[in-house]
Amino acid sequence: MFSLILLALFCLVFPAFLIWLTHKYPFFKKIGAIVMAYAIGVIIANVGIMPRSSEAYREATIGQDRPFIPKSEAVEMVAAGTLKHSDFRYNSIAAVQDSMQSALVLLAIPLILFSLNVRRWLRFSGKGFLSMLLALVSVVIIVATGYLIFRDKVEGADKIGGMLIGLYTGGSVNLASIALALKVDPNAFIMTNTYDMIVGGIVILFFITAGPAFFRLFLPPFKAPAGSKRGGPDISEMNQKMAEDFDDYSGIFKKGVMLPLLAAIGLAIVILGLGVAVSMLLPKVPMTVSVILTITTLGVAASFIKPVREIRKTFQLGMYFIIAFSIVIATRCDLSIIFQAKYLNLLLYITYAYFGSLFLHLFLSWIFRVNADDYLITTTGFVYSPPFVPMVAAALKNKDVILTGLATGMIGWILGNYIGVAFGMWLGKL
């Protein structure tokens, strides 16, 4: 019992240290807290601290599409000799991990959505809104065709496809929530995210180096909006300030910030309760699916209430929970399983989805005359999420597109859950 409590406390507290590292040292800021969280979790899971499961246990869980075995059943299986005593301990840890990762994601989603100002994003997105729609169409088409190519080569390709839709419309937040909704195997989740980081790292490096010049060869030049010209309001400065706020955890423990945050957590718990209630009214819909979609809807609805939207640091607290989730799920990653030949096809699927959607989006942008800067910034907002937008805007030497990128990423957070869950369920029926 003590070891379970220690594991839970570590996963909840250690993200604070990771965030401190990213603010203290530029090197760690470039890596990012979520990447470091995955790395630490994987190390913990594979250096002998955590017990290993037997093949019989994996067959009884992964083979039957469940995260762990109910305690009474596990006791009977150990007594019968079907499972080892180490499997029983592993199962107790898996039950805690599953409860924690579910709770963290389900609380993070509404907290992140509370801070959205949807009206503002839509008002300032301009031509970038067309680019966002083209990006969405591109991702859906490429992930669907990728599924048809790899469905016999990638285990659970339908669920992977749903995760990729969420990942390429909102980043890690949607990836986590869709994985929870579709009950994705932790090893498949880790490998999907790991391969995405590898391929995505190469792409974002291209975006901030040769990308601007390359895409400007094919697409029209950017024209600055009238409001950003001399004599108008300094939209560029406002954009930059808003982008910086995504990463600003300072002052979160001050009384004037902490008390409203506790109220926001209370509201998130109420929304989660309503999500569970709705799931009970829809017995034919998988519970996790109805809960995820309900809390997404209610989280967006709450963002239209000004006092809720103006609670400071709700986004940062939600992201803190996502970092904690990353540690929890990474501690379930068994490297002896994931480094198998079958996962190479997963890498090919992800690579196809990444580059296929980028080039299809580029082609559609060329047809519809979307300018190069809007193309690049909306792609960044969708695929990498808002925190990466300022980096690419700096490479473009164009701060006027920051709000467009933020708008795209924000809308992606909203749409990604709906489309990703629906897509994952639909692909399984093809």
Residue 94 placed within a domain = no
- Quick check: helix, strand or coil at residue 130? helix
Q: Which helix (H) or strand (E) holds 164?
A: helix 157-170
Residue 3 placed within a domain = no
Helices 255-281 and 314-330 sit at what angle, rounded to 10 degrees? 60
Which residues lie closer than 8 Å to 153 by C-beta, 6 or more apart?
342, 345, 349
Spatial distance between the Cα atoms of 423 and 415, rounded to a whole number of angstroms? 12
Q: What is the pTM of this model?
A: 0.75
What secondary structure does DSSP assign to 228-244, as a single string? GSTTS--HHHHHHHHHH
Residue 328 placed within a domain = yes
pLDDT value at residue 244:
55
Residue 377 placed within a domain = yes
Residue 79 placed within a domain = no
pLDDT value at residue 255:
82
Tokens of 114: 């509370």
pLDDT value at residue 405:
80
Give the structural domain span for 135.
Answer: 107-427
Residue 279 placed within a domain = yes
pLDDT value at residue 311:
92
pLDDT value at residue 229:
47
Per-residue pLDDT tens over the stretch 284-319: 777 878 888 899 889 989 989 999 988 988 988 988
pLDDT value at residue 338:
61
Written as tens digits, the pLDDT of the chain (430 aa) is 667 888 889 999 999 999 999 888 888 887 888 888 888 988 888 887 888 778 788 777 765 667 788 888 888 888 888 888 888 888 888 888 888 988 898 898 899 888 877 776 666 556 678 888 899 999 999 999 999 999 988 888 999 999 999 888 877 778 888 888 888 887 788 788 778 877 887 888 888 888 899 999 999 988 765 544 433 445 555 555 555 566 678 888 888 889 999 999 999 999 999 999 998 998 877 787 888 889 988 998 998 999 998 898 898 898 899 889 888 888 877 777 666 666 789 989 999 999 999 999 999 999 999 999 999 988 988 888 776 776 787 788 877 777 778 778 778 878 888 888 888 888 888 7
Q: Is 58 exposed, middle or buried (0-12, 13-18, 19+ CB in 10 A)?
A: middle
Tokens of 236: 């560029």
pLDDT value at residue 248:
77
pLDDT value at residue 231:
39
Residue whose structure tokens are 């986004």: 315
pLDDT value at residue 230:
39
Residue 54 placed within a domain = no
Q: What angle do CA 248, 251, 253 make, to 5 degrees?
A: 120
The CA-atom distances, in angstroms, between 134 and each of 152, 199, 364 are 29, 22, 7
pLDDT value at residue 126:
60
What secondary structure does DSSP assign to 245-295, as a single string? HTT--TTTTSHHHHHHHHHHHHHHHHHHHHHHHHHHH-TTS-HHHHHHHHH
What total number of domains does the chain contain?
A: 1
Residue 270 placed within a domain = yes
